[in-house]
Chain A
Amino acid sequence: MGFRSFVFRRSIESLITIFIVITLNFYLFRIMPGDPVSIMFNPSISPEAKEIMLKEMGLDKPLLDQYVIYLRNLLRGNLGYSFLLHEPVFKAILERLPNTILLMLSSNIIAIFLGVVLGALAAWKRGSVTDVSSIILSLSLYSMPMFWLGGMMILVFSVQFHLFPIFGIVTPGVDYSSFWDYAWDVLRHLTLPMISLGVGTFGGLFLIMRNTMLDALTEDYTLTAKAIGLKNRTIIFKNVMRNAMLPLITIVSLRLGFMVAGSILTETVFSWPGVGRLIYSSVLAHDYQLLQGAFLIITILVVLANFIADIIYGVADPRIRF
């Protein structure tokens, strides 16, 4: 099977996957008890008001009709209208997507860097203090609840030492005299959530990297490299790590694919207005349209990421043939 056949087959599989996810999402959210209107337990909302809202949301129609309308709108590129935010779903997600990408990308870079480098070092110095302390550190941080870790960081670095702001992306009410002032303000606000998410999630990558490194270190080429007198640094980073990183390609690709979903806990703790927080609010409000749209985008990106991972894998590892 050649590369073209591979791409064609994967494309078909991806489309089928996406269609199944669309259908599952549509019905899954509607299985939740209640609907966006009935769960508004508010005496201000009269029965007439509820009827108006139900009709406006299209929820007065039979379920199958709603599904057909949804599919038809999807084919036209219309993700629907958010009940919660009173704006098109695509616009609502797009407004928050840059915030999420900024946070997730920066924290993933930290996590990947720490995971790969520490994992490689720990494997090379297996059994040493470096190895043991790295394991303890990574597992401790990995097992800490994100909301606790984030809260502690705020308490120490924001409240105690006044180094970083407590919440948000920007300082409220400030007019910036230049782009760099704005960028600096964003960077100050980004630091704590980025670090807490990065150090809190590198543990998994660390362990995988360490384990694959340990396997690679037992290979013959490693022994050969040592025998011919290469430096340790060269052996680790130029020979062994390259081979050990292959499984990480898939993991990192999937991580980046899921990046769009944001991190609900981190975004909530730091009041970072991202897609994660949006999804959480939508769940509480039973905003089906927004949930469907968000999950569709996540699905597409994850499927795409997986697809790209396979291709990169094939390029990175010459032993793999399509």
Chain B
Amino acid sequence: MNKRFHTVLPVLLLCLLFALVPPATSMSLREVRGPYKYGGTLRIPILEDLTTLNPLISFKGVDIFAFTLLYPKLLINDPDWRFDAPYLASSYEISPDGKTYTFHLFPNATWDDGTPITSEDVKFSIEYYKKYSCPVTTPHVHNIDSVETPDPHTVVIHLVNASLSWIVVDLWMLYIIPKHIWQNVTDPLHFDNYPPVGAGPFKFSRWVKGQYIEFVANENFWFGRPYLDKVLLVVINTHDAQIMAFKEHAVDVVGIQGNEVPQFLGIPNVTIYQTIDPGLTVLGINNLKDPGRDINFRRAIAHTIDKERIINTVYYGYAKPNDNFLTIPYNISGRWLNPNVPKYSYNLTLAAELLDKAGYKDYDGDGWRDYPNGTKMKLYIETTGNIPTWIRAVEIIADDWRSIGLDTEVVAVDLGQQIADMVLTKNYQFTYYRCGPATSDPLEMLGWFLENQVSGGLNTAAWVNQTYEELYTLARNELDEAKLREIVWKMQLILTQELPNIPTVQGVGLRAVWTDKFEGFINCLPYGPLSNMDVYNFMSLHLRGPPPPMTASITLSVPSSCKVGETVTLKATLVDEKGNPIVNEYIDFIVGGTVIGSAATDSSGVAKLQYTPTSEGSFEVVATYRGSAHYASCSSEPSTLVVGAPPSPPPPPPDYTLYYVAIVIALILIAVLVLFMRKKT
């Protein structure tokens, strides 16, 4: 298949790159900031309306969209699916024994109503979840022993047991709620929390039930105001309508399937992002029933899964074969995949031989294999008709099974029925389903195969292995990452040898976006740009084009009065919107409506001009800045300069000429007299 994309990050290359590069620290939200344009409304389609704005009671994916935008956590998941990126906490430290976590909060963080967020809110939240049974958060505070708040921006959390995965598994599930709102709520399960007071990149604006929910940019978000003005989650109930709405530019992003890619390739300004689904799609096997309980049977049918055919036929090439019980994204977040697990190639001849060896032969000659004890064997693979890819994959598997003599029937049931059969009643033989993890903690997925998950949990295979249980307990208490990795690899080995279920393929998530209006998309793991767990795209997305000039302001300083002919200094200070001086830009000074001169700003942003008024009166003085590519024009507030009358001229100096003449005449006369007197004597 010829796959052409406008801009696509080759996923395999990405996987390889991250497999070789040691894990780095999480990416901060500040790294997505830049000199970008503000504005625009982003419209995202959702299949179902939100059900609540109370983050403590709902697990629905669409509700989590709203919670992600509205409610802070101490740390969040970054685009590489690492779960310790700064959010409400700017940094944190862990004590050597792993039991004490100290978080430093951003000092300028505030709730939507302007109330500062402090360590008291964090402490209150944790204690609230301990006091009231909130389904989303309460299960995740049991490992917290106590919380201290040494100062308004420091939180110290003491754990009961140290755990390497506490941040991923427990802390990440804890929303911080405002104490001043929730302290009066005594029934959180019935609190509608409307309108919500949160603290995230966006604030709640309005919810038109069944239609859309609108969020507006939070001007006071401590990472900076998002570039987008608004985000709209628009309810469009069918996938086809979403596609049509996308093509009509009624929405800006849409999830698509493999068979739909060709119709998007020819559209200008559309980019398709791919990510690997972290979920596990398996052929589920009931290990409590025959023939699933027979490990030889399971190993035989592991060779009957034609993954390439499923990928090409069902997923149109947009899937990857999977041999493991962890999926590729786990290698990107933390190198958790064991590369040495046994692989079961597609080989029907080998599968038939293994079945023969295990005793599954056609004893009664009807063309179908029977149980080893000779009884008739009929196999049923159950899946849901709600999801076309599953049904089609099961049909392919059933075809191959029939070709090697396994009498197989595909049973399509309602999704609820399938889940009930797998989880509650174990009333199935084989099943086909996908389950996705909530976090990148490998023990989450590996924990699905524990004994305590058999009844009502995710161990749909009802498989129990004592060694595996012990390894899991060891892993949960292990604080050294290298050692933990060893244990995780061992657990994968056991699973791939025992095959309680058979991994098949991992889908590739596809998301089409319009790039003519917005830019700055980040292809986040695990679900691509603008998923319900993604904050980064909401902070990085901005309108295309150069940013407009930053706003500037001028402060003018003039003496209140002077006299005609008296030289005064007019001073103007030019700064940007953040108060930083703007250097080397010219300011025009206008007195009485006339531009009297210009001066350049110095390193402090100050421009000075000497001015000598030549007439009396009261004059308005204004300083203006014409603007530049970087800064918008602005003017100062007018000031008034009162110019008074010129000072009286000093009296003319007295004229002493006559006196000088008289003195000279007197001196001459005296000289003549003296000479006359001398001559006489």
Interface residues of A (CB under 8 A from B): 32-34, 38-50, 52-53, 55-56, 81, 84-87, 95-96, 99, 151, 154-155, 158-159, 162, 165-170, 172-173, 267-271, 273, 277, 281, 284, 286
Contact = CB atoms under 8 A, between A and B. Distances in A.
Interface string B425-456: 10000000101111000001100100010001
B420 A34 contact: yes
Nearest to B136: A49
Given A85-B52, A172-B212, A286-B416, A268 B248 contact: no
Contact of A38 (B209, B234, B424): B424
Nearest to A87: B192
Contacts of B419: 34, 38-39, 41
Interface in B78-133: 133
Interface of A is mostly: loop
B270 interface: no
A102 to B, nearest CB: 13
A111 B137 CA distance: 51
Interface stretch (B43-51, B347-355, B392-400, B618-626): B43-51
14 contacts: A33-B416, A40-B59, A43-B458, A52-B133, A81-B190, A86-B192, A159-B248, A166-B236, A168-B234, A169-B210, A172-B208, A268-B238, A273-B211, A277-B237
A90 B419 CA distance: 29
A38 B421 contact: no
A85 B51 CA distance: 5
Interface stretch (B239-247, B302-310, B511-519): B239-247
B417 interface: yes
B558 interface: no
Contacts of B236: 166-168, 271
B211 A33 contact: no
Interface string B473-502: 000000000000000000000000000000
A159 B192 contact: no
Interface in B125-162: 133-136, 138-139
A37 to B, nearest CB: 9
B658 to A, nearest CB: 92
Contacts of B437: 43
Contacts of A168: 211-212, 234-236
A96 B210 CA distance: 8
Contacts of B230: 173
Contact of B211 (A41, A44, A50, A172): A172
Contacts of B210: 95-96, 99, 169, 273, 277
Contact residues on B (Cβ < 8 Å of other chain), bracket:
35 or more
A86 B448 CA distance: 29
A38 B456 contact: yes
Interface string B213-236: 010000000000000001010111
Of the candidates A96, A158, A267, the one having the most CB atoms from chain B within 10 angstroms of its own CB is: A158
Contact of A166 (B59, B248, B458): B248
Contacts of A43: 435-438, 444-445, 448, 458
Contacts of B214: 172-173
Nearest to B246: A166
Nearest to A167: B236
A46 B139 contact: yes
B240 A151 contact: yes
A281 B415 CA distance: 13
Given A34-B420, A53-B135, A84-B51, A173 B41 contact: yes
Given A40-B59, A166-B244, A172-B208, 7 more contacts: A50-B456, A52-B134, A53-B135, A268-B237, A270-B241, A273-B235, A284-B415
Contact of B212 (A46, A173, A269): A173
A174 to B, nearest CB: 10
A220 B24 CA distance: 94
Contact of A33 (B134, B209, B238, B420): B420
B49 A273 contact: yes
Nearest to B135: A49
A284 B212 CA distance: 21
A49 B134 CA distance: 8
A87 B58 CA distance: 12
A166 B57 contact: no
B258 interface: no
Nearest to B189: A56
Among A165, A271, A284, chain B packs the most CB atoms within 10 A around the CB of A271
A99 to B, nearest CB: 7
B139 A159 contact: no
A52 B448 CA distance: 21
A270 to B, nearest CB: 8
B165 to A, nearest CB: 14
Interface in B385-429: 415-417, 419-425
Contact of B425 (A33, A87, A270): A33
B457 interface: yes
A168 B213 CA distance: 13
A155 B448 contact: no
B666 interface: no
B444 to A, nearest CB: 6
B250 interface: yes
A46 B59 CA distance: 11
B171 interface: no
B211 A169 contact: yes
Given A173-B41, A277-B237, A52 B51 contact: no
A86 B244 contact: no
Contacts of A154: 241, 244
Contact of A159 (B41, B138, B212, B244): B244
A93 to B, nearest CB: 12
Contact of A39 (B41, B420, B425): B420
A42 B43 CA distance: 27
Contacts of A85: 51-52
Contacts of B331: none
Interface in B180-214: 189-190, 192, 208-212, 214
A86 B194 CA distance: 12
B524 interface: no
Contacts of B276: none
Contacts of A56: 135, 189
A91 to B, nearest CB: 10
A269 B238 contact: yes
